[in-house]
A and B are shown apart, each in its own frame.
Chain A
Amino acid sequence: MKRNVPLAITFIVGAVLIFSVFIPPMENWGEDFTLFFDIIAVFAFFLGGGNLLRVHLTKLSRRKQDWPYSIVTIMGFLLMLAAGLFRIGNPGDINASLTEQGSLFQTIYDSVFVPLGSTMYALLAFFVASASYRAFRAKNREATILLVAAFIILLGRTPLGTIVTGWVPESFSILQIPNLAIWIMNSPNLAGQRAIMIGIGLGVVSMSLRLILGIERTYLGGDDK
C-alpha cells in the first residue's frame, strides 16, 4: 500500500500528461493536472521556510560552528516575513502593493538583498581570472585550441575586437574578431550543445518512461522491493 499508491499516482499523472499532448479532448485534463502541480508547488514555500527555521534554530541552540550567522538568517527571514505578511511599514492600507516604492519590504529588498546578491555574483570575476590564469595553459593540441577560442571570445565580447580588426576588408569579414566570436558560438559551440541536448532529451524520455511504468522506484526512498 505504502508503495503502490505513489506508484499508481505517478502512473496516472504521467499517462494523463502524455495523452493530453496527443489527444485534443484530453487537453483540459493536462491543464488541470498542471494546476494541481502549481498548488502543490506553493506548499514548497511553507516546507522551505519551516526547514530553514528548524536547521538554524537547532544550530543556534546547540551552539554549533558559526552559530552567530544563524541569528542573522533567522532575523532576516522573520523580518521579511513580517514585512510581507502584515504589511509593516507599507504606505497606504493593507491592500497596497508590497512592492510599492517606500514600503519596508521593497526598501529591504532594494537596500539589502539587491546589493548582497549582486556582490556575490560579482565575486565570480575574481575567481574566473584566477582560474583562467591556472587552467588555460597550452599543454596539448586540444588545450591550445581551447585557449585560442577563449582569446577570441574574450576579445569578441568587447569593443576592442572591433577596434583591433576593424581594418580587415569586408570580403574577409569573417576574420574580424567579433565575427570570429559569432562563428565559434554559431558553429562549434552550437554543434556541441545540440549533441549534449539531444543526449539529455533521450535520457529524460527514457527516465520518464521508467518512472511512469514503475521500473525506477528510487524516488520512493529505501530499497525498491
Chain B
Amino acid sequence: MTSHLMPPLALTLVDIGRILSLAVIAGGLLWLFLRAIKRKEVERRVIFLFIFVSVVAPILFPTVFQEKATPIVKDVFDKIESLPPGSVVLLSYDFDPAMAPEVQPMADAISRHCLVRGLKIIYMCLFATGQGQFTSTLENVIKPEFPDKVNLVDYVNIGYKAGNEGVLNVIITDFKKMFPTDVDGVPYDSIAVFKGIRSCKDLDLVISIGGGKPGIKEWILFVGDPGNVPIASGVAAVVAPLMYPYYPAQMLGMLGGIKGAAEYESELVHHYPQFKNSPTPALLMMGPQTLAHLVIMAFIVIGNILYLLERKKGRKR
C-alpha cells in the first residue's frame, strides 16, 4: 500500500554521481573553511584540484538548467524572427579554436534559427581559422539537419580574406571587389544568394561571432555605422562587458559567453520544438560553469576569512 502512495526512489547512476560529486566538493570546501578559521592558507594546487573536479563532475553527470533569455539575447532572437523568409543574413566567424567552445554553440544555434526561418546565409570570416570552424557548422548542423538546403542557393561560404578592417572597408561598398568568388571558386554573379546584394548595405542583418580583433567592434565601426546595417554579435564572456556601450543603438543585441549561447539555445528549443533532440552544448556547459563559479565564490570567501583573521591578529599586536 505504501508503494502506491510514495513515489519509488529510482536513483539513476547519473543521480548518484551528481550527489557524490556534490558531497565531495561540499565536504572539501567545508574542510577548507575550518582550516581557514585556523588561519591556514590554501595551496594553489588545492584550488586547481577543486576547479578540476567542479568542471569534470557536471560533464560526467550532466545537469541541464532551464534558461530564460535576457533582453540583450532576446533582441537577437526577435530580430531573426522578424525577418521575412528570403532575407539575407551575413554570419562572420571571427574566432579561433581557443574561443570555439564558448562561441561555436552560438554560431550553430543562429545558423539553425536562420535556416529554419528560410533566411539565406552568407558565411565569411575575418580570422583565418574561421573557415575551419565553419566546416564544423556545415558538417554538424547544415548537412545533417537541413539536407534540403542547397549550397549557393540557401547559403554560401565566401571564406577568409586578409586585411582585417580593410576587408570591411571594401565590402561596405562592393562585395565583389573583395570576394570575386566563393571558397570553391564559383563566380560571384553565379551565386544565387548574392542576387540583389551588391554590398553590406543590402544585407538584412550582420552577425559577428567571436571576441577578438578583428571582430564585432570593427563590424560596428566599418559596416554597421557607416552603412546603417543592423548588427548583432555573439562574443566570449571576457569581451562582453566591453561591448555594452554599443548596445542597443549601434548593436541590436548580443550573446555574451556560454550563458548567452545557452539562453539562445533554450529560446530556440522553446519556439521550435523540432530542435528538442538537436545538440545543445551551451546548455550542457552551464552545469560546469555554475559549479565552477560556486567554487570560485567559496574560495573568495575563504580568502577573505583568512584576510580578516590576519588583520585582527595584526591589530592585537
The chain A residues found within 8 Å of chain B, CB to CB, are 27, 30-31, 34-35, 37-38, 41-42, 44-45, 95, 97, 99, 101, 106, 109-110, 113-118, 120-122, 125-126, 128-130, 132-134, 136-139, 147, 150-151, 154-155, 157-160, 162, 178, 182, 185-186, 189-190, 193-194, 197
Contacts and interface: CB of A to CB of B under 8 A. Distances in A.
B296 A128 contact: yes
B99 interface: yes
Contacts of B257: 157
Interface of B: 42, 44, 47-48, 50-52, 55, 65-68, 70-72, 96-101, 129, 131-132, 134-136, 139, 161-164, 166-167, 169-170, 173-174, 177-178, 183-185, 237, 240-242, 244-245, 257, 259, 286, 289-290, 292-297, 299-300, 302-304, 307-308
A153 B55 CA distance: 19
A110 B97 CA distance: 9
Given A31-B177, A110-B132, A130-B44, A120 B295 contact: no
B96 to A, nearest CB: 6
Nearest to A38: B163
Nearest to A36: B166
Given A38-B167, A126-B48, 9 more contacts: A31-B173, A34-B166, A35-B177, A99-B132, A126-B47, A126-B51, A137-B307, A182-B72, A189-B241
Contacts, number: 159
A136 B296 CA distance: 11
A45 B96 CA distance: 17
Nearest to B217: A197
Contacts of A147: 300, 304
Interface of B is mostly: helix
A138 B293 contact: no
Nearest to B161: A38
B249 to A, nearest CB: 12
Contacts of A115: 97
Closest 8 CB pairs of A and B: A38-B163, A117-B97, A159-B65, A121-B98, A158-B290, A117-B98, A114-B97, A133-B299
B262 to A, nearest CB: 9
Nearest to B48: A126
Contacts of A194: 245
30 contacts: A35-B170, A35-B178, A41-B162, A41-B164, A110-B132, A113-B132, A118-B98, A118-B101, A120-B98, A121-B101, A122-B101, A126-B47, A129-B47, A129-B50, A129-B295, A129-B299, A130-B44, A132-B303, A137-B303, A154-B297, A155-B297, A157-B259, A157-B289, A157-B293, A182-B72, A185-B241, A189-B244, A190-B245, A194-B245, A197-B245
B97 A118 contact: yes
A192 to B, nearest CB: 9
Contacts of B169: 30-31, 34
B173 A27 contact: yes
A45 B297 CA distance: 44
A34 B170 contact: yes
B101 to A, nearest CB: 5
B118 to A, nearest CB: 26
A31 B131 CA distance: 25
A38 B178 CA distance: 9
